[in-house]
Amino acid sequence: MSLALYRKYRPSTFSEVVGQEQVTEPLMNALSNDRIHHAYLFSGPRGCGKTSSARIMARSLNCEKGPTPNPCGECQSCRDLVANGPGSLDVIELDAATHGLVDDARDLRDKAFFAPVNSKYKIYIIDEAHQLGPGAANALLKVVEEPPPHVIFIFATTEPDKLISTIRSRTHHYPFRLVPPGVLGTLLDKNCKDEGVKVAKGVIPLVVRASGGSVRDAQSILGQLLAGAGKEGVTYEIAVQLLGYTDGALLDDAIDALAARDGATLFTTVDRVIESGHDPRRFASDLLERLRDLMIVDALGETNPAAILREIPDDQLERMRAQAKHIGSAGLSRSADIAAEGLTQMRGATAPRLMLELICARMLLPIGDASESGMLSRIERLERAESISIPVRPASANTAETKEKAVSAHVSEAAPKQPEKSTAPKANKPSAPTNHTFDVSGLRRLWPDVIEDVKKKRRLTWSLLSASAQIIAVDDKIITIGIVNAGARDSFLRSNSDEILRQAFIDVVGIDRKIEAIIDPSVDGTPQAKGGPTKGESLDDPQAPSGLSLLASELGAEVIKVEEHD
Ligand SMILES: [Zn+2]
């Protein structure tokens, strides 16, 4: 049986330890300067080299030419303590999980005073040190406090905070960490070359991801893939299947469908995910990870994202750039929020497929989400629609012609006769107010123009209405305006803004109605107006619309558009 990769390639010197320079460099310096402490604490996540480093430390200390950062490799101690070597009587490894008992600690304490058999130091490596019980820790404390000169302790633990503080305070603490993907990838590439097995592009990144930054896990996973490799080496397809990852092609299809708001394709993709035996949770988590990557690509703009997303091949990056552009920053952020929230809900859900489909449906939802990111993504879509010259709404410099069209579609009688197109806007004023019956949506179409007219008449009224009001109802006597909150409504009435608005309706639409203002909290987020104050414009009223409602006012156009399909 062949040796597991992580044992086969276990380092025997600090210079062979990968990705832990923050620890290995100071340790090597201490060794070369002969500044040896009697107790060390190696902490960090599992599988990142703590125990291997403790053994290397022992080897470096006990080399005939040591203490040295470069053990000679030839003396008896070096040969005994080489990785996978027979071990040395003077280097004693204890697992606190099994030796946490007081008697064992006492035994250790007593034996510690005997001189080493044939080395300089007697070195105790105590693994899982946080599992030392209080009794055992106290028994050890005495010898850690005042050790014989030939004794060195190396405590290794994933949870340094749980190590009894009287011991911890007597150690030199070296924190290990997870290995960065780039470093780990390079190591695994080298392992594959040394093993003489060809590995397809994209496989190593999958292994790196599956390992979560643990060298031991990464090499263990790679070992399994190499063991099952055929003549053509390790293929991407096999790796994806063995590691249970979602095939990148499925993710691409899902993201492309999302970008195009193509529900049919997105749900077909979900079906393919399930049919091919993938776990819906895994897919949701892979989708979230892809959205995260897209956000990075988007944030970096023209900067080459390969510097951060090292694991992703260039052709894939190119594709992701296009995807990020299609979905837009806000769309990505919103989709990621939905995916993250959905993942939490999927934990323990009895119908994960259903949950996955709900997540997809929510991502596809165009509007109705008043959150800020929902708003932003709507704006982005609007901007894109405009950039490909789809007229979303009549231009604010409304021509009489457009207005006429809009009005005539919703006026039950003939629209008031409009003056010549060529005359100045003031001349647009109908000769006398008329009393045609309008429906609400017809009037709402003209709301942006009414608001523009209000702006000319009085800025305060405009700032109260532009983003936080909408037309609720209209009959032959009264136009009812919904205003988002009591404060804004009171300001509206106190400032006699109703009269300004009445006049604007007369001037723009040609109808004279009494204005009634009611409170309608639902206005915020779905107002009808365009042309609210923009950032930086000073407002002369404390009830100025919030940033969110200003954004919302930008969306009035789309709301109108939706209503057309009602
Ligand atoms: Zn040696």
Of the three residues 197, 226, 243, the one that is the final residue of a domain is 243
Q: What is the pLDDT of residues 63-115, one digit of tens each?
A: 999 899 999 999 999 999 998 889 898 998 888 777 656 677 777 778 888 88
Judged by average pLDDT, the poorest of 43-57, 91-105, 434-448, 486-500 is: 434-448
What mean pLDDT comes out for the span 368-385?
60
| In a domain? residue 514 | yes
Q: Per-residue pLDDT for 420 more than 90?
A: no
Strand 469-474 and strand 122-127: the pairing is unpaired
Distance 69 CA to ligand 1 centre (A): 11
Distance 344 CA to ligand 1 centre (A): 53
Judged by average pLDDT, the poorest of 74-83, 187-196, 206-215, 521-530 is: 521-530
Distance 31 CA to ligand 1 centre (A): 14
For residues 217 and 302, membership in a common domain is answered with no
For residues 202 and 311, membership in a common domain is answered with no
| In a domain? residue 232 | yes
> Which pLDDT belongs to residue 399?
42
> Which pLDDT belongs to residue 340?
92
What residue has token string 């090292």?
310
| In a domain? residue 166 | yes
> Which pLDDT belongs to residue 63?
93
Distance 70 CA to ligand 1 centre (A): 8
Kindly indicate the confidence band of residue 542, based on its pLDDT and cuts at 50, 70 and 90.
very low
Distance 163 CA to ligand 1 centre (A): 32
Distance 120 CA to ligand 1 centre (A): 12
What residue has token string 């629609």?
385
Q: What is the pLDDT of residues 483-519, one digit of tens each?
A: 888 888 888 888 888 999 999 888 888 788 899 998 8
Identity of the highest mean pLDDT range in 269-283, 287-301, 414-428, 528-542: 287-301
Q: Which helix (H) or strand (E) holds 381?
A: helix 372-387
> Which pLDDT belongs to residue 545?
43
Distinct helix (H) and strand (E) counts, the chain: 25, 8
Q: Report how far residue 418's alpha carbon sits from residue 501's, in angstroms, rounded to the nearest whole number.
A: 21
CA angle 46, 228, 282 (to 5 degrees): 55
Q: Per-residue pLDDT for 230 more than 70?
A: yes
Q: Per-residue pLDDT for 459 more than 60?
A: yes
Q: Report how far residue 151's alpha carbon sits from residue 133's, in angstroms, rounded to the nearest whole number.
A: 22
Tell me, what CATH number does 221's domain have? 1.10.8.60
Distance 84 CA to ligand 1 centre (A): 16
310: nearest Cα among 486, 222, 179: 179
Judged by average pLDDT, the poorest of 11-15, 275-279, 382-386, 531-535 is: 531-535
Tell me, what CATH number does 94's domain have? 3.40.50.300
Distance 102 CA to ligand 1 centre (A): 35
Judged by average pLDDT, the poorest of 360-374, 395-409, 446-460 is: 395-409
Distance 108 CA to ligand 1 centre (A): 26
Percent with pLDDT over 90 in the chain: 24
Q: What is the pLDDT of residues 302-330, one digit of tens each?
A: 777 766 776 676 777 888 888 888 888 88
For residues 193 and 80, membership in a common domain is answered with no
Distance 155 CA to ligand 1 centre (A): 23
For residues 235 and 111, membership in a common domain is answered with no
Distance 55 CA to ligand 1 centre (A): 13
Distance 66 CA to ligand 1 centre (A): 7
For residues 436 and 360, membership in a common domain is answered with no
Distance 438 CA to ligand 1 centre (A): 97
Q: Per-residue pLDDT for 537 more than 80?
A: no
Kindly indicate the confidence band of residue 3, based on its pLDDT and cuts at 50, 70 and 90.
confident
| In a domain? residue 448 | yes
For residues 42 and 158, membership in a common domain is answered with yes
Of the three residues 119, 149, 175, the one that is the final residue of a domain is 175
> Which pLDDT belongs to residue 288?
93
Q: Which helix (H) or strand (E) holds 274?
A: helix 263-275
| Residue pair 312/202 in contact by the 8 Å Cβ criterion | no
Distance 184 CA to ligand 1 centre (A): 29
Tell me, what CATH number does 320's domain have? 1.20.272.10
Percent with pLDDT over 70 in the chain: 77
> Which pLDDT belongs to residue 385?
53
Distance 122 CA to ligand 1 centre (A): 16
| Residue pair 208/76 in contact by the 8 Å Cβ criterion | no
Q: What is the pLDDT of residues 133-177, one digit of tens each?
A: 778 888 888 888 888 899 999 999 999 998 888 889 999 999 999
Q: Per-residue pLDDT for 538 more than 60?
A: no
Distance 60 CA to ligand 1 centre (A): 8
What is the chain's mean pLDDT, rounded?
Answer: 78
Q: Per-residue pLDDT for 193 more than 70?
A: yes
Distance 182 CA to ligand 1 centre (A): 33
For residues 161 and 224, membership in a common domain is answered with no
Distance 25 CA to ligand 1 centre (A): 20
Q: Which helix (H) or strand (E) holds 18?
A: none
Q: Per-residue pLDDT for 220 more than 70?
A: yes
Distance 95 CA to ligand 1 centre (A): 26
| In a domain? residue 303 | yes
| Residue pair 288/343 in contact by the 8 Å Cβ criterion | yes
Tell me, what CATH number does 520's domain have? 3.30.300.180
Q: Per-residue pLDDT for 229 more than 80?
A: yes
Q: How many separate domains does the chain show? A: 4
For residues 237 and 264, membership in a common domain is answered with no
Residue 519: both structure tokens together: 């409170």
220: nearest Cα among 230, 210, 229: 210
| Residue pair 42/263 in contact by the 8 Å Cβ criterion | no
| In a domain? residue 504 | yes
> Which pLDDT belongs to residue 554?
40
Distance 32 CA to ligand 1 centre (A): 14
Distance 118 CA to ligand 1 centre (A): 13
Distance 147 CA to ligand 1 centre (A): 25
For residues 350 and 228, membership in a common domain is answered with no
Distance 59 CA to ligand 1 centre (A): 8
Distance 49 CA to ligand 1 centre (A): 21
CA 278 from chain centre, in angstroms, equals 22
366: nearest Cα among 357, 354, 374: 374
Distance 219 CA to ligand 1 centre (A): 28
For residues 528 and 553, membership in a common domain is answered with yes
Q: Per-residue pLDDT for 535 more than 50?
A: no
Distance 90 CA to ligand 1 centre (A): 14
Report yes or no on whether pTM surpasses 0.75: no
Distance 65 CA to ligand 1 centre (A): 6
Q: Is 158 helix (H, G, I), strand (E, B) or coil?
A: coil
> Which pLDDT belongs to residue 83?
87
> Which pLDDT belongs to residue 566?
39
Judged by average pLDDT, the poorest of 43-52, 232-241, 404-413 is: 404-413
Distance 480 CA to ligand 1 centre (A): 92
Distance 153 CA to ligand 1 centre (A): 20
| In a domain? residue 383 | no
Kindly indicate the confidence band of residue 262, based on its pLDDT and cuts at 50, 70 and 90.
confident
For residues 457 and 471, membership in a common domain is answered with yes
Distance 80 CA to ligand 1 centre (A): 10
For residues 68 and 162, membership in a common domain is answered with yes
Domain of 231, in residue numbers: 181-243
Distance 91 CA to ligand 1 centre (A): 14
| In a domain? residue 389 | no
> Which pLDDT belongs to residue 202?
84
122: nearest Cα among 132, 139, 108: 108
Distance 78 CA to ligand 1 centre (A): 4
> Which pLDDT belongs to residue 13?
94
> Which pLDDT belongs to residue 222?
92
